[in-house]
Amino acid sequence: MPVNLPSPKKADLLAVSGIKLGLSSAGIKTVGKEDLVLIELVEGTVTSAVYTQNAFCAAPVILAKQHQQQTSPRYLLINSGNANAGTGEEGMQAAQACCQTVADLTASRSNTVLPFSTGVIGQQLPVEKIQTALPDAVKNLRKDNWFNAAHAIMTTDIVAKAVSKKIELDGRVITITGMAKGSGMIRPNMATMLSYIATDADVEQSVLDAILHNAMEQSFNRITVDGDTSTNDACVLMATAKAGNARISNIDSESAQKIAAVIDEISQQLAHAIVRDGEGATKFIEINIEQGHDDEECRQVAYTIAHSPLVKTALFASDPNWGRILAAVGRSGIKDFDLSKVAIYLGDVCIVDGGEPAETYSEEQGQHVMDKEEITIRVELGRGQARDTVWTCDFSYDYVKINAEYRT
């Protein structure tokens, strides 16, 4: 079960003026399951997006990038159950056909539609099923559909992931609502699995781009479940300008910083939810690397620990086998590493001091920390002032089972 992750409540998810969401069932993987989401953006909405850096990026990713460069998006089309990745030219034609159907149903242009897919890689997209289901999604467009949409984009997720917040700018109430899906194949590289965040604030394009980039770097780009970057990762930030605030045109302004802080918070909550719902996860792990030469070095050490199957399985077993953490730090690739300056902590318990086993450490202390559902691993490198944080989870029996049976 997810680690301390409650399901969102429908009443807590706030409508964003200028955004409507419609959904329907195309039966892509499971007959009767809502697996198709259409998001309508009011004309004038400013949109910023980031996408996977996987070289085998999916057809919808390629097409979404092209469309976004050509014009302002009016619709986002999301399907679960099929990734439309590794599908060649036929996959591109399928994504384009779905965009064209949306355009025909909404009297818009196909390049104003951004397509997104998630699910099994290497299978052709069932275009006819999606085209048949799309009229219902259009009819179902409502501003209060965030809760249902968050469930419709799920694949192996156990819990839907969505959150809303309000702030005040220029005497106007600003609403920000976001949703995400993701559970496995998680090590985002410029994006998460799929995430959509909307606000009714009036924000200039360059400022929105900066806000999204900064939010990504401190949230979705600091999580990993299994070290696998998806072919379909994407994150979209939308600003409809319907709240009536003075247009935010300077990233250093008080208004920009205020809304950026909330978007940072929402992004981090969604990112943490993905890790807490990691396939079969039983523990939520925060890895803090301190006193590094630079940020990149800190991330290098953090991800080496986070991706170690031996560390992750020891965490699942609640086994204070700290030698696995030490070994991961040692093989992280740091040059000119002075081990005599290294300290490693499990929670507040020092396990390595000056590169050697801490004299104060006892197995009982380590066990007390490892028995918890939420654990912090901290490493002091003794090389500088840089620091960084990565969030991950353990590997359980269920992770193997879920991924072994993914297509059955």
Positions annotated as catalytic residues are 192
Task: Give the β-pairing of 374-380 and 284-292.
Answer: parallel
CB 402: neighbour CB atoms within 10 A? 17
Spatial contact of 248 and 256, defined as CB atoms under 8 Å apart: yes
Nearest to 81 by CA among 118, 116, 115, 114: 118
Quote the CA–CA distance of 168 and 405 in Å, as a whole number. 47
Write out the two tokens for 267: 């992004």
Bridge partners, residue 41, by sequence: 19
Spatial neighbors of 225 by CB under 8 A, at least 6 apart, are 183, 184, 185, 186, 187, 274, 275, 278, 279, 281, 392, 393
What is the Cα–Cα distance from 217 to 224, expressed in whole angstroms?
A: 13
Reduced 3-state DSSP string for the chain = CCCCCCCCCHHHCCCCCCEEEEEECCCCCCCCCCCEEEEEECCCCEEEEEECCCCCCCHHHHHHHHHHHHCCCCEEEEEEEECCCCCHHHHHHHHHHHHHHHHHHHCCCHHHEEEEEEEECCCCCCHHHHHHHHHHHHHCCECCCHHHHHHHCCCCCCCCEEEEEEEEECCEEEEEEEEEECCCCECCCCCCCEEEEEECCCECHHHHHHHHHHHHHCCHHHECCCCCECCCCEEEEEECCCCCCCCECCCCCHHHHHHHHHHHHHHHHHHHHHHHCCCCCCCEEEEEEEEECCHHHHHHHHHHHHCCHHHHHHHHCCCCCCHHHHHHHHCCCCCCCCHHHCEEEECCEEEEECCEECCCCCHHHHHHHHCCCEEEEEEECCCCCEEEEEEEECCCHHHHHHHHCCCC
